[in-house]
Chain A
Amino acid sequence: MKVYIRSAVSISAQNTFGNAPFLKDIIEYTSPRLKAIEPDYKSYIDARLIRRMSRIIRMGVTAAKESLNEARVSMPHAIVTGTAYGCLEDTGIFLSRMIEQEEEALSPTAFIQSTHNTVGAQIALMLQCHQYNNTFVHKGFSFESALQDAIMLLQEQEATNVLIGAADELTDASYAILNRFDIYKSGPVNNLNLYQSPSPGTIAGEGTAFFVLSDQPHSHDLALLTGLQTFYSPSGPAEISKRITTFLAGNDLNAEDIDLVITGKNGDAVTDELIDQWYNPLFKPEQQINYKHLSGEYPTASSFALWLAARIIKTQTIPLAINAATPTHSIKTVLIVNQYQNKYYSMMLLSAI
């Protein structure tokens, strides 16, 4: 069975949504906090509803709808979402009011919208979709779990078109708390030379990406998703290397067959160096591209990587913001090896159709 990526839509800290040219107008950030650029929602969501929805729900629903548009699918057979933090804005609102008002005179809206499955549920509601609907909430594997579920549904022939995506947001409160864990850069930051500054910490991102996957080919498909595998807390570069080569071998590929390798470098000196340790013996420098200087780091950032890989294969171009070198040959195979907190590793393989 083949898995076709019929569409890929991203709302991120860059101009990635709608008709924006493919990563041309890059936004420079000089703070460690990147903010998702929200589109004009009016053509996607009823005006009266927009106001009541929190950011993450607006973004997720819009990206989902646009990915259905792009795929020319009106009703998916399943909706699967992934989110590590869930609906933080509404959670924060309800929590603070509950504390301020000492558990009295509270209104339900924020509570209702705070549950992790709200994005998936709102999509179903808008589409009147009664089909399979699931939400994964497992840290750096939230997106990958959703992908795994989607692929299994296709394999089981429970679905021919699956709408699958991830969303995570930053709020002032969540950023403040995460920052206290010393995971972001202190001192001067510029996302455009993120990998050149050997200092600890990364930059915070947020966003959503949605895809329509199918087991049937269609004329506007972007790429094939030929492999997905995750592994947790590897012992070191030797294990990572072995897992990659085994994964590739399972697809009859060697390291040199891969046209592009998207890594999970995020500017943190320690983890970027760890990536070099398994990357350098296995792949060549010209095969490497990175994305977190554009998206920022967050648990479901690998969904941005999948969007990027699919777009690169479809357009057969690599945006200047990613890689200075113009490809001299066609881009047939792209491997994503993402890492999050050096614990959550995922490998995704895409190929041209």
Chain B
Amino acid sequence: MSANVYIAGLGVISGIGNNVSEHLAAFEKGKAGMADITLLKTRYAHEIPAAEVKQTNAQLAEKAGIPEGLSRTALLGMIAAKEALADAAIPNFHSLRTGLVSANTVGGMDKTEDFFAEFMNDNASGDLLQVVNHECGSVTELVANELGIKDQVTTISTACSSSANAIFYAARLIKNGFLDVAIAGGVDSLTRFTLNGFNTLMILDRHFCKPFDENRQGLNLGEGAGYVVLVSEKVAQSLNKQPYARLSGYQNSNDAYHQTASSPEGTGPYLAMKGALKKSGLKPDDIDYINLHGTGTANNDQSEGTAIKRLFGPRYPKMSSTKSFTGHTLGASGGIEAVFSVLAVKHGIIYPNLRFQTPMADMPFTPVKDFLKGQTVNHVLSNSFGFGGNCTSLIFSKA
């Protein structure tokens, strides 16, 4: 039960690229994905920037190989899941015990919010096809059915920590002997529901976000999907290429402070990071890079920063928030950032924290400002902290 779980494949789509190599290029060029909203119909199109995936549903459907009328969430998820599976290139995939553990927060809300406008006026109107895949689980099921995965298919939804939870849940299914291979991660598409929801919380930056900056003004929303293919030790040995990394640690803790705000002491984040370290058998000093949750809100960055101050130091690892590139992809963020963390381990790279200018007043560390190559990156800590106090930290280590 303490067998290792390896990452054998990666797939990602977001506002900065449609696949892994496009993301690496964007990181190196410092090309962020925030812009005016052009695809989602909203009154805030020119007021609130977001990092949309720059593809229409028709374009996504073509890439995904599934019908255009399906939820954008399903389209994005399908693309990244397929990329990850193809990348893993597992021999005899269908003879193994395979699972899909996905996550999302919006489900098919992109379609439902269109349906609801008509339905509200007249309960008999509105196209039922728009709500048939409303549930979070439906989106996962569409992907699982397309990929031919039947055993152990499930969906997790814990706000911004959703897909991080999905990844280590899938790893546990492998460790506990239920599966040989699992695709794990998550997806979310931009909807008016979430855009307006976050707007009412007054945590959306009207400019491009500045995570971990003293003068940060909030987050930018993003959308996308990120999946890893997890395999058992035995399957890892059968692969034609080296696995990318190993999932060496994980922890799910709850802040239990407030439904949306994080505690000033950073209790949840602290417990999640500490627990992940304990599980991996590592010390804080062993961490080479922290991929911060780093949304850019006054509250999160202060809370996460405080937790880092409590756990690390005097030597702090390099750290950055890739949300400065992709925006906050909500249910997808854990999965997307897991892909980035694994790539950091594999390629010895560290991502910049874009638009950073002024260090936070009471934090004795500053994020990385430039894209770094040729680094020693043996262990990466990836944080995902969400509403409902749900905090999850993952540690990826050299295979």
- A131 with B254: in contact, given A111-B196, A137-B136 (CB under 8 Å)? yes
Q: Is the contact region of chain B dominated by helix, strand, or loop, or is it mixed?
A: mixed
| Most B CB within 10 A of own CB, among A112, A127, A137, A231 | A137
Q: Tell me the residues in window 297-339 of chain B with beta carbons closer than 8 Å to chain A beta carbons.
A: none
Majority SS of interface residues in chain A? mixed
Residue of B nearest to A177 (CB): B131
Shortest CB distance A317–B (Å): 35
A135 in the interface, Cβ–Cβ < 8 Å?
yes
Q: B154 in the interface, Cβ–Cβ < 8 Å?
A: yes
Q: Identify which of residues 65-105 in chain A touch chain B, using a CB-to-CB cut-off of 8 Å.
A: 79, 84-86, 94-96, 98-100, 102-104
A118 at the interface (CB under 8 A from B): yes
**B117-131 toward A: CB 8 Å interface, digit per residue (1/0)?**
101100110001001
Is the CB–CB distance between B256 and A127 below 8 Å?
Answer: yes
Which of B116, B124, B154, B267 makes the CB contact (< 8 A) with A130?
A: B267
Question: What is the CA–CA distance of A100 and B388 in the complex, to the nearest angstrom?
Answer: 28
Instruction: Choose from A99, A112, A145 the contact partner of B117 (Cβ within 8 Å).
Output: A99
Whether B390 contacts A121 by the Cβ 8 Å rule is yes
Closest CB in chain A relative to B178 CB, distance in Å: 8
B255 touches A139 (CB 8 A): no
A121 touches B389 (CB 8 A): yes
Set of chain A residues within 8 Å of B107, measured between Cβ atoms: 137
| Chain A, Cβ-Cβ closest to B270 | A130
Complex CA–CA separation, A132 to B43 (angstroms) = 39
B284 proximal to A (CB < 8 A): no
Q: Judging by beta carbons under 8 Å apart, are B389 and A125 in contact?
A: yes
Among A94, A133, A139, find the residue whose CB has the most chain B CB atoms closer than 10 A.
A133
A137 to B141, CA, bound (A): 11
Output the nearest chain B residue to A108 by Cβ-Cβ distance: B200
Q: Name the interface residues of B67-125: CB closer than 8 Å to any CB of A.
A: 105, 107, 112-113, 116-117, 119-120, 123-124
- Interface digits, A165-180 against B, CB 8 Å rule (1 contact, 0 not)? 0000000010011001
Contact partners of B159 in chain A: CB under 8 A: 115, 117
Which residues from 145 to 172 on chain A have a C-beta closer than 8 Å to any C-beta of chain B?
A: 145, 149, 152, 155-156
A78 CB, nearest partner CB in chain B, Å: 9
**CB pair A122 B154 closer than 8 Å:** no
The answer to whether A232 and B153 have CB atoms under 8 Å apart is yes
**Contacting residues of chain B (225-275) with chain A, CB-CB under 8 angstroms:** 252-260, 267-268, 271
Q: Assess whether A307 is interfacial by the CB under 8 Å rule.
A: no
Taken together as a complex, chains A and B put the C-alpha atoms of A129 and B388 apart, in Å, by 12
- Assuming the contacts A112-B259, A115-B388, A133-B390, asked whether A98 and B137 have C-beta atoms less than 8 A apart, the reply is no
Closest to B158 in A: A117
Q: Considering the complex, which residues of chain B in the window 149-207 have a beta carbon less than 8 Å from any beta carbon of chain A?
A: 150-151, 153-159, 165, 169, 172-173, 176, 192-193, 196-197, 199-201
Closest-by-CB residue of B relative to A176 is B123
> In the bound complex, do residue A136 and residue B105 qualify as a contact, i.e. CB atoms below 8 Å apart?
no
Question: Are B137 and A173 touching (Cβ within 8 A)?
Answer: no
What separation, in Å, do the CA atoms of A141 and B138 have in the docked complex?
A: 11
Q: Are A103 and B43 in contact (CB under 8 A)?
A: yes
- State whether A133 touches B116 (Cβ < 8 A): no
| A113 close to B (CB within 8 Å) | yes
**Are A125 and B43 in contact, CB atoms less than 8 angstroms apart?**
no
Query: Across the interface, which residues of B come within 8 angstroms of A149, CB to CB?
Result: 169
A103-B155 in contact given A85-B135, A155-B176, A156-B1 (Cβ < 8 Å): no
5 pairs, CB–CB < 8 Å, chain A vs chain B: A99-B120, A103-B43, A111-B197, A117-B159, A118-B388
* 6 A-B pairs closest in CB distance: A121-B388, A111-B197, A138-B137, A108-B200, A139-B137, A116-B157
- Interface positions of B (Cβ within 8 A of A): 1, 42-44, 105, 107, 112-113, 116-117, 119-120, 123-124, 128, 131-132, 135-138, 140-141, 150-151, 153-159, 165, 169, 172-173, 176, 192-193, 196-197, 199-201, 252-260, 267-268, 271, 386-390
Interface residues of A (CB under 8 A from B): 79, 84-86, 94-96, 98-100, 102-104, 106-108, 111-118, 120-122, 124-125, 127-139, 141-142, 145, 149, 152, 155-156, 173, 176-177, 180-181, 231-233
6 more CB-based (< 8 A) A-B contacts, given A129-B256, A130-B256: A100-B120, A117-B387, A117-B388, A132-B254, A133-B253, A181-B132
